[in-house]
Structure 1
Amino acid sequence: MKKKLVSIMMAATMIAGSLVGCGSQTDSTTANDSQTKDAAETSAKEETAATEDKAEDTSSDEPITLRMAWWGSQDRHDKTIAAIELYESLNPNVTIEYEYYSFDDYFTKLKTLVASDEVWDVFQLGGNFPMYIDKIYPLDEFIESGVVDVSKISEANLKTTRETDGTQLGLTNGINTYGIAYDPALFEEAGATLPTDDWTWEDYQKAADTITEKLGIFGSSTFLSSDFTAGCSTYIGQQGDLGQYSFFNLDLTGMGFDDPQMLAPFIQMRADMIKKGSYPDAGASAEVTNIENDFLVTGEAAMVWVAVNQFPTIYNACAEQGRELALAPLPKAVAGGNSGTLIQSSQMLCVSQDSEHKEAAAAFISWFENDVDCNNILQAERGIPANEDVREALSSSATKGQQIMYDYVDSVSKNPTPKEYNVLSPEGQDQVQDNYLNYIQQVASGEITAQEAAEKTYADAQAIFK
């Protein structure tokens, strides 16, 4: 069957953390697949037998078509397609129809498929997976049967994609965290103080303003939707004692702090930067459609917030221009305070409840995460691999940008972290995020104050739980 490749215009978001058309919605369903599905609905005993029968089917020459989709940069698209082609060459009976999207377009399409019970066999999810939990088919039975190999993935890494009840929802595409990518040469040219391991948001703002004054470019590129992560999740977690505050509470049943005005300083900083021109306003931010045309890459900004799996991509893009980037820790609320930076899963691959070939989909995910040859193609673009053998293989041949990423994650992993924390998002956060970004623009234009924006953001978030 001929694959249907969809190339989508990128929307104005990066990730993460954030990023029409579709392939065929019809899979070739064998009699044994249907029997397996029926048997799985009868009893645990029959389900075990059906799984054994299905295992025989997927290892045979029976033609299987899987649908897969993801979001990301062009670099991710190219590498993922090459990995798929390798898998098909190793498994001639398997055809994978793939689609790729920008972040926003991906979730627009996913919501349509959820409504019609046609979600792709293999699909990518991030921290907003609770919104789609009913469409995820857990991997536990496939781990137990050996179809999915987790022998080289640590318990800590497996936990990053588990439900609180222990259900294994998927396998992480990579261990990830956040940082500030920057161009040291632009800092030095402007006479701005370079980032340090203990710099603050005040230092960040001062450096950005200085660069804009001296060089006439943005001191900081747009954080896009990650400005919510920076100003709400991270900034709140940086205040008080370690683990004292979080934007949402650990159970995702309410707020993790009581005083909305804790948000106001970051909102005021961002609005002041927009007014000064050291940070892009909404119109300029809309020009950034993916990490590869970010203002840092085009030389129109000196730094930007990144999920560190993005760093090698922009490092290479700038290296082609004769520029060398560096990676700094996130600024802190106060010097010597909490970092607010946590190691987490970048995204995960999941099996769809709608799939007619769940075991084949699970087998592909296992290969995608564990196979060294596959990951030599992927080159940790989605984050540092969870499989220890894959990490060792990639580290031995890492590019300079990749090595900076590995070293940075190793450094961040040594930071003190709260005994308990939750990096997941409750359903409804997307609207809170959109409103928050609009409130910042309203503060910048003088329509409301930062204090009012903080109150509105808190009320919006609180309303999720009512």
Structure 2
Amino acid sequence: MKKKLVSVLLAATMITWVLAGCGSQADSTQSSDTEATQQTQAPATTEATAEAETTEAAEATASDEPITLRMAWWGSQDRHDKTIAAIELYESLHPNVTFEYEYYSFDDYFTKLKTLVASDEVWDVFQLGGNFPMYLDKIYPLDEFIDSGVVDVSKISEANLKTTRETDGTQLGLTNGINTYGIAYDPAMFEEAGAELPTENWTWEDYQKAADTITEKLGIFGSSTFLTSDFIAGCSTYIGQQGSLGQYSFFNLDLTGMGFDDPQMLTPFIQMRADMIKKGSYPDAGASAEVTNIENDFLVTGEAAMTWVAVNQFPTIYNVCAEQGRELALAPLPKVAASGNSGALIQSSQMLCVSQDSEHKEAAAAFISWFENDVDCNNILQAERGIPANEDVRAALAASATKGQQIMYDYVDSVSKNPTPKEYNVLSPDGQDQVQDNYLNYIQQVVSGEITASEAAEKTYADAQAIFN
């Protein structure tokens, strides 16, 4: 069967939210259904029975029956090229399997996905980020394939498996990579402007001061746009950075209400963002719309000195800037207080899932297992979606890491050592997308003088609280 390649659509943002409380990281970006997919658990088996099931599953997967799998993802051109090469390797190893693949920018991907959801034609293998809860009824869990041995999780830690599990323990997919957020920046631009370089404990005040200084001295944006992740920074991360560790979160752990009581906790961030837009040190809505993916971010084009990134994106922009003769660095997220909480958590970048609509669920699951566990495959992918969850794959890639990749590995290792709340929830309730859209509009209204930052905070809180009414 002839492979069909659907042309790339690069009209919108790439960044995804996959991190706690978001958004993703998000797109990015997340919302959730209140109805979780129910998984029928396989009965306990004897060791001999389990071995027989594993053999039977392997034989079924290795069948000569022609299979066509439909797959789709979003991302940068770098991701597209790497993923296609990995698919071609899999097809060479499994001649009976042919892929029909599609790839998009972030917004276009979810526009297409929603259309397929409505017609019950979701791709056999599809990529989801932190917004996976709204697609729970289209995800076919992997539990039965893990039990049968089709999906191998022997080299993936329990902690990494939990990043793509439902709260009831159902394994929804396998993470494409563990990830977190950071600030990518150009040290030479900071030094040219006389701005203080980011430190391990810099604050949002330090961030704003540096951005304003860069704009005054160099005539460029001090900071590029956070795109849809502005909600993550302003709501999820900013709220989580306040109080004692784990005291506050934007939504509560049970997703039954808010995780904080005072809307005015949001005011300083909204005011900072509006002030920066008015000063020209941060892009307004019109300029932000020009950034359609991380590869044309203002930091990459030389029109900004720093930008917020999901760190799996860092090696890509590091390489692009290196070709320009520029060397980027990666700093931790600014904090509310220098001695306070970082607000950064290690979680899943995205995951690959099997579709409930698929006619070849086992073959789709087998591919996902290979995609996450095979060293040759991951030598092609080069951790572009995040640091691999499989320990053998991580070791193989680290041994031949590029400069940008090594910075990413070191950064994630550093963040993983930060104190983290005993309990936290990576999910968000259905309806958050609209809350996020409204929040970004409120910031623009503060800029134009229609409302105050305090009023924007009250409105954002009320919108979010209304989800539960």
TM-score band by shorter chain is over 0.9
Aligned to 1:14: 14
**TM-score, normalized by length of structure 2?**
0.92
> How far did residue 54 of structure 1 move?
6.6
Aligned to 1:69: 72
> Does the aligned pair in 2 maintain the 1:128–1:427 contact within 8 Å?
no
Aligned to 1:366: 369
Question: Using the alignment, how far apart are the partners of 1:44 and 1:151 within structure 2?
Answer: 20
> How far did residue 52 of structure 1 move?
7.9
Aligned to 2:442: 439
Aligned to 1:146: 149
Figure out how many residues of one structure are paired with residues of the other and give that number: 443
SS for the counterpart of 1:297 is: coil
SS for the counterpart of 1:161 is: coil
Q: Deviations over 1:189-229 (max 9, x none)?
A: 00000000000000000000000000000000000000000
Give the direction of change, closer, same or farther, for the CA distance of 1:51–1:110 in structure 2 (3 Å limit): farther
SS for the counterpart of 1:454 is: helix
SS for the counterpart of 1:225 is: helix
Q: Does 1:319 align with 2:322?
A: yes
Q: Does 1:288 align with 2:287?
A: no
Give the direction of change, closer, same or farther, for the CA distance of 1:52–1:465 in structure 2 (3 Å limit): farther
Q: Deviations over 1:265-306 (max 9, x none)?
A: 000000000000000000000000100000000000000000
> How far did residue 463 of structure 1 move?
1.1
> Does the aligned pair in 2 maintain the 1:63–1:94 contact within 8 Å?
yes
SS for the counterpart of 2:327 is: coil
Question: Using the alignment, how far apart are the partners of 1:245 and 1:344 within structure 2?
Answer: 18
SS for the counterpart of 1:107 is: helix
> How far did residue 401 of structure 1 move?
0.1
Q: Does 1:344 align with 2:350?
A: no
Q: Does 1:386 align with 2:389?
A: yes
Aligned to 2:242: 239
Question: Using the alignment, how far apart are the partners of 2:11 and 2:277 within structure 1?
Answer: 21
SS for the counterpart of 2:353 is: strand
Matched to 2:252, the amino acid is N
Match of 1:253 among 243, 251, 256: 256
Q: Does 1:226 align with 2:229?
A: yes
> How far did residue 12 of structure 1 move?
3.4
> Does the aligned pair in 2 maintain the 1:239–1:245 contact within 8 Å?
yes
Unaligned runs of 5+ in 1: 20-39
Give the direction of change, closer, same or farther, for the CA distance of 1:50–1:134 in structure 2 (3 Å limit): farther
> Does the aligned pair in 1 maintain the 2:26–2:130 contact within 8 Å?
no
Question: Using the alignment, how far apart are the partners of 1:373 and 1:52 within structure 2?
Answer: 24
Aligned to 2:411: 408
Q: Does 1:106 align with 2:109?
A: yes
Q: Does 1:271 align with 2:284?
A: no
Aligned to 1:82: 85
SS for the counterpart of 1:148 is: coil
Aligned to 1:459: 462
SS for the counterpart of 1:298 is: coil
Q: Does 1:210 align with 2:213?
A: yes
Q: How does 1:418-437 map to 2 (within 5 A)?
A: 418-437=421-440
> How far did residue 44 of structure 1 move?
7.5
Question: Using the alignment, how far apart are the partners of 1:384 and 1:138 within structure 2?
Answer: 23
Aligned to 1:158: 161
> Does the aligned pair in 2 maintain the 1:219–1:302 contact within 8 Å?
yes
Question: Using the alignment, how far apart are the partners of 1:190 and 1:7 within structure 2?
Answer: 42
Q: 4+ runs of 1 displaced by more than 4 Å?
A: 48-55
Matched to 1:82, the amino acid is A
Matched to 2:415, the amino acid is V
SS for the counterpart of 2:300 is: helix
Matched to 2:7, the amino acid is S
Question: Using the alignment, how far apart are the partners of 2:357 and 2:43 within structure 1?
Answer: 20
Give the direction of change, closer, same or farther, for the CA distance of 1:113–1:50 in structure 2 (3 Å limit): farther
> How far did residue 55 of structure 1 move?
5.2
Matched to 1:70, the amino acid is W
Q: How does 1:171-186 map to 2 (within 5 A)?
A: 171-186=174-189
Matched to 1:11, the amino acid is A
Question: Using the alignment, how far apart are the partners of 2:61 and 2:160 within structure 1?
Answer: 28
Structure 1 window deviating more from structure 2 (171-180 vs 3-12): it is: 3-12
Aligned to 1:33: none
Matched to 2:314, the amino acid is F
Give the direction of change, closer, same or farther, for the CA distance of 1:226–1:260 in structure 2 (3 Å limit): same
Q: Deviations over 1:345-392 (max 9, x none)?
A: 001100001100000000000000000000000000000000000000
Question: Using the alignment, how far apart are the partners of 1:339 and 1:56 within structure 2?
Answer: 48
Question: Using the alignment, how far apart are the partners of 1:13 and 1:333 within structure 2?
Answer: 27
Aligned to 2:333: 330
Give the direction of change, closer, same or farther, for the CA distance of 1:404–1:54 in structure 2 (3 Å limit): closer
SS for the counterpart of 1:66 is: strand
Structure 1 window deviating more from structure 2 (206-215 vs 158-167): it is: 158-167
Aligned to 1:201: 204
> How far did residue 51 of structure 1 move?
9.5
> How far did residue 2 of structure 1 move?
1.9
Structure 1 window deviating more from structure 2 (367-376 vs 429-438): it is: 429-438
> Does the aligned pair in 2 maintain the 1:55–1:359 contact within 8 Å?
no
Cα RMSD, aligned residues only = 1.8
> Does the aligned pair in 1 maintain the 2:54–2:149 contact within 8 Å?
no
SS for the counterpart of 1:296 is: coil
Aligned to 2:2: 2
Structure 1 window deviating more from structure 2 (167-176 vs 10-19): it is: 10-19
Aligned to 1:23: none
Question: Using the alignment, how far apart are the partners of 1:114 and 1:54 within structure 2?
Answer: 29
Give the direction of change, closer, same or farther, for the CA distance of 1:162–1:228 in structure 2 (3 Å limit): same
SS for the counterpart of 2:5 is: coil
Question: Using the alignment, how far apart are the partners of 2:12 and 2:145 within structure 1?
Answer: 37
Question: Using the alignment, how far apart are the partners of 1:367 and 1:326 within structure 2?
Answer: 33
Match of 2:399 among 396, 399, 407: 396
Unaligned runs of 5+ in 2: 17-24, 28-38, 45-49
> Does the aligned pair in 1 maintain the 2:14–2:107 contact within 8 Å?
no
Q: Does 1:136 align with 2:136?
A: no
Question: Using the alignment, how far apart are the partners of 1:78 and 1:429 within structure 2?
Answer: 32
Question: Using the alignment, how far apart are the partners of 1:54 and 1:383 within structure 2?
Answer: 29
Question: Using the alignment, how far apart are the partners of 2:149 and 2:100 within structure 1?
Answer: 25
Q: Deviations over 1:42-63 (max 9, x none)?
A: x979xx9999877544312110
> Does the aligned pair in 2 maintain the 1:173–1:346 contact within 8 Å?
yes
